[in-house]
Amino acid sequence: MPSNEVIQGLGLDDYKFGFVTDSEPVFKTRPGLDAEVVRQISARKDEPDWMLKRRLKALRIYDAKPMPKWGGDLSELEETLSRTYFYSKPQEQMERSWDDVPENIKQTFERLGIPEAERKILAGVGAQYDSEMVYHSLKEEWESKGVIFDSIEDGLKNHPEMFRKHFGTVIPAADNKFAALNSAVWSGGSFVYIPPGVHLETPLQAYFRVNQERLGQFERTLIIAGEGSRAHYIEGCTAPVYSTDSFHSGVIEIIVNRDARFRYTTIQNWSNNMYNLVTQRALVQQGAHMEWLDGNLGSKLTMKYPSCYLMGEGAHGEILSIAYAGDGQHQDTGGKVIHVAPRTTSSIVSKSISKGTGRSSYRGLCKVYDGATHARSNVECDALLINETSRTDTFPYIEIDEKTATVGHEATVSKVGDEQLFYLMSRGMDETEAMALIVRGFIEPIAKELPLEYAVELNRLIELEMEGSVG
Amino acid sequence: MDDSPILVVTGLEAGVADEDLDILKGVDLAIGPGEIHAIMGPNGSGKSTLAKLIAGHPGYEATGGSVEFDGEDLLDMEPDERAQAGVFMAFQYPVEIPGVSIANFLRTALQSRLEDGEELDLFDFQELLMERMELLDMDVAFAQRPVNDGFSGGEKKRNEILQMAVLKPALALMDETDSGLDIDALQIVARGVNTLREEDPAMSVLLITHYQRILNHITPDVVHVMVGGKIVESGGPEVALELEASGYEEYRKAHAA
């Protein structure tokens, strides 16, 4: 772990993990994107023909779709993409043993506290370094239960039938421009399968990091939770500071089969020059539960709306999200719930904090199809503004085609008030401590759902961000 | 024991910050260690402004005179510095802090009093909190509730008293703590203050109130009457009783004349 002195020694808006490790990738494509680059990626991965065809088709869809005009400002993105390396492979081999991991990569992990986490609970860290899994170990217990927790590449290689049956079924390439882009150039990510009836107590964790200037990261994750299974997947990322804009566009597909319960937790803390445009969606079958727990810090612009398609009777979807927009950042986040079947229920709780010139937007969709009788949905979005220059907007879209549905929506905007600050200061806290306590209280309903180490990390990040935000 | 006053207010003039509005027009007041002073007055007399000014509320500004606490110039200090020096204000309208438990809130407040690099021992804190709640006859579950969030009027006052008990001030300012309280809640406040005074007879109290009734439960050493931004009369508890009988009208007339 980096010591507190080191962290505090950084200026206010310096990025905590903003260091660059000197690592030369073994292979990378030239900047920019065309069919030749896609062919190279596919060939490097030694992929079956059907996947190459899928990639090329996705590229055509990507080229044909216009840039979205809604959400955040994407006007400089085209230029950024022309300079982006779409694929970089740091090593030839997958590493399983810690000893085999190259020293400079180890250093990066060490500075992020990875080895400690490894020693503590996780025999099963899947850590992504650049575009590929370099380090990936799996608990024996999971193997004995038939759980698959692989890199997405190994998923395709080792479980071709299951992979082909589900890949792209939740989020087809044509879903949106960035889903198409990811489908064309995806690299890295996880493939997870939980057999029916298997309950996992320890979360599956993947920790990854973008470490190559102008390297776009297009992780792709496919998760299949078997009938009646229970599991929790945790993903956390952090990226170093770069002089030019970086780009991250992931696609996460999850299938939650009948009566299964699945939770997907992400804490993302991108450096503030990153475009972060992610599509994540779960298909939730009869009686199943899906929960997205999504924390977004950093980045230049994040557009991310985890969604639950409630396909079977009694399915339940839950989206909890926190967004933190610092100076010059725009967090355009929220969630989507689509009620297709009767007695489906959903809940979205979204909290955002805007500081300085930061801007947060809640963008959500609740759709209830005709025939989704007695569907119930509740949306709550709360925004906290730290300074006069901070901004927040709410865009709740509600489409109800079913008379028996019940949908609730509640939105609040609060400012950290002088009275609140004075109350805390009159008890002896200085302004920064008072501000941090108010913010911690604001995000508490979501932070308490996080595993302890993540909650502690989140609180620490917020505290660092609060320093100097007042006065 | 040193009997020199802990709080000395001299010729204090003050108003609302950034506005040309005088509220206090020369207030003189001295409170000795362990003394209970009550300031009574009609609405708009400036009594609440005085309390807020002593605590350091950013909405008010001194334009003349001085406030000394324990020999130090209080007006030069930030609200948190005043709190750490031993000033505590029980609010008339305590503020809600959603998501922050009373225990967490108090732990942060105590931690902020320590030197940099010093950590409050969690077990010591837990012990202190339990002991304080026991003293005030409070249910321990109360400390797990978020600060003032969804509290009844009585619960908010109870929370103020608990904070006072944990932070152990040298001077407690009670800013109209009794307004809008039913008799049960009033007694909670009075019992709390009396218990803390029994424990620490050196704790001074400045009680700001509109009504005489709280003085039936907390016996003041000195009662001041404030009208039009000035203290117009000071005396023993009998002053409050006279006020109860005759009202503020007489003082108003005298002041206006």
**Highest mean pLDDT pick, A263-267, A340-344, B239-243, B246-250:** A340-344
Domain assignment of residue B49, yes or no:
yes
Tell me if B84 and A428 make a contact (CB, 8 A cut-off): yes
Asked if the C-beta of A69 comes within 8 angstroms of chain B's C-beta atoms, the answer is no
Q: What is the per-residue DSSP string for A144-204?
A: HTT-EEEEHHHHHHH-HHHHHHHTTTSS-GGG-HHHHHHHHH----EEEEE-TT-B-SSPE
Mean pLDDT calculated for residue range A238-262: 80
The total of other beta-carbon atoms located within 10 Å of residue A82's CB is: 10
- Cα–chain-centroid distance for residue A438? 26
* 3-class SS of residue B14: strand
Interchain contact A471–B (C-beta under 8 A): no
Contact partners, residue B95, CB within 8 Å, separation at least 6: A417, A419, A420, A423, B147, B148
Q: Tell me whether residue B107 is in a domain.
A: no
CB contact under 8 A, B58 and A442: no
CA distance A334 to chain B (A): 21
Distance from CA of B109 to the nearest CA of A (A): 6
The predicted structure's pLDDT at residue B3: 77
A441:B57 CB<8 A: no
Tell me the residue range of the domain where B15 lies: 7-83+170-178+208-256
d(CA A268, CA A322): 10
Nearest to B80 among A430, A437, A443 (CB): A430
Strands A204-209, A230-238: pairing kind:
parallel
Mean pLDDT, chain B, rounded, equals: 91
**What does each C-alpha distance from A281 to A155, A338, A348, A469 come to in angstroms?**
19, 11, 14, 35
Higher pLDDT, A29 or A413: A413
Q: Is beta strand A307-310 parallel, antiparallel or unpaired with respect to A330-339?
A: parallel
From B31's Cα to the closest Cα of chain A, the distance in A is: 20
- Comparing A291 with A13, the larger pLDDT belongs to A291
User: Which tens digits make up the pLDDT trace of B216-231?
Assistant: 999 999 999 999 999 9
Instruction: Answer whether residue B89 is part of any domain.
Output: no
- A420–B100 CB contact, under 8 Å: no
Radius of gyration (Cα) for chain A, nearest Å? 22
Q: Which of A352, A297, A351, A294 is nearest to A329 (CA)?
A: A297
Full 3-state SS string of A317-362: EEEEEEEEECCCCEEEEEEEEEECCCCCEEEEEEEEEECCCCEEEE
Model confidence pLDDT, tens digit, residues A422-460? 999 999 999 888 998 999 999 998 888 887 777 777 777
Separation CA B174–CA B201 (nearest Å): 17
Chain A window 405-444: which residues touch B at a Cβ cutoff of 8 Å?
417-420, 422-431, 433-434, 437-438, 440-444
DSSP string, A264-324: EEEEEEE-TTEEEEEEEEEEE-TT-EEEEEEEEEE-SEEEE--EEEE-STT-EEEEEEEEE
Which of A48-57, A97-106, A366-375 is the least confident region? A97-106
**What value does the mean pLDDT take over residues A31-36?**
89
Is residue B183 a part of any domain in this protein?
Answer: no
> How is A426-439 classified by DSSP, letter by letter?
TTT--HHHHHHHHH
Does residue B131 form part of some domain? no
Yes or no, beta carbons of A419 and B95 under 8 Å apart: yes
Tokens of B149: 């969030």
| Tokens 């009369």, residue located | B233
Q: Do the Cβ atoms of B167 and A418 come within 8 Å?
A: no
Q: How many CB atoms lie within 10 A of CB B105?
A: 24
* The pLDDT of residue A81: 83
Q: Which chain B residues are closer than 8 Å to A382 by Cβ? A: none
What's chain A's length in residues?
471
Q: Give chain A positions within 8 Å (CB) of B163.
A: 427
Judged by CB atoms closer than 8 Å, whether chains meet at A430 and B82 is answered as no
The whole-model pTM stands at 0.80
Q: What's the total number of domains in chain B?
A: 1
Per-residue pLDDT tens for B104-158? 999 999 999 998 888 888 889 999 999 999 988 889 899 999 999 999 888 999 9
Q: Residues with Cβ < 8 Å from A179, sequence gap 6 or more?
A: A171, A172, A173, A251, A279
Considering only the beta carbons, identify the residue of A427, A440, A442 that sits closest to B109: A427
B83 closest CB neighbour out of A419, A426, A440: A426
Size of interface A-B (CB pairs under 8 A): 79
Count CA within 13 A, CB hemisphere, residue B43. Answer: 1
- Yes or no: say if B38 and B224 are a contact pair by the CB < 8 Å rule: yes
Alpha carbon distance A299, A273 (integer Å):
6
> How far A8 CA sits from the closest chain B CA (Å)?
13
Can you read off the two tokens belonging to residue A177?
Answer: 């421009």
Q: Which of A422, A433, A444 sits opposite B79 (nearest CB)?
A: A422
Chain B: closest CA distance from residue A231 (Å): 28
Tokens, residue A377:
């949905």
Of the candidates B58, B97, B108, the beta carbon closest to that of A422 is on B58
Strand order in the sheet with B60-69: B22-31, B7-16, B60-69, B72-73
Tell me the nearest-neighbour CA distance from A234 into chain B, angstroms: 24
CB contact under 8 A, A437 and B146: no
Name the most confidently modeled range: A80-94, A145-159, A193-207: A145-159
Residues 207-266 of A with CB under 8 A from B: none
**Residue A29 CA neighbour count, 13 Å, CB half:** 27
Task: Select the highest-mean-pLDDT range: A129-143, A157-171, A228-242.
Answer: A157-171
B25: β partners = B13
Compute the distance between CA of residue A395 and CA of residue A154 in angstroms, rounded to an integer.
Answer: 40
How far the first Cα of chain A sits from its last, in Å, is 31
Residue B102: both structure tokens together: 């009373």
Residue A178: count of CB within 10 angstroms of its CB: 24
Task: Give, as one character, the DSSP assignment of residue A124.
Answer: -
Output the domain CATH number for residue B248: 3.40.50.300
Contact B89 A429 (CB under 8 A): no
From A303-312, A318-327, B171-180, the region with the lowest mean pLDDT: B171-180
How many CA atoms lie less than 13 Å away from A411 in the CB half-sphere? 14
The span from the CA of A248 to the CA of B216, in Å, is: 69
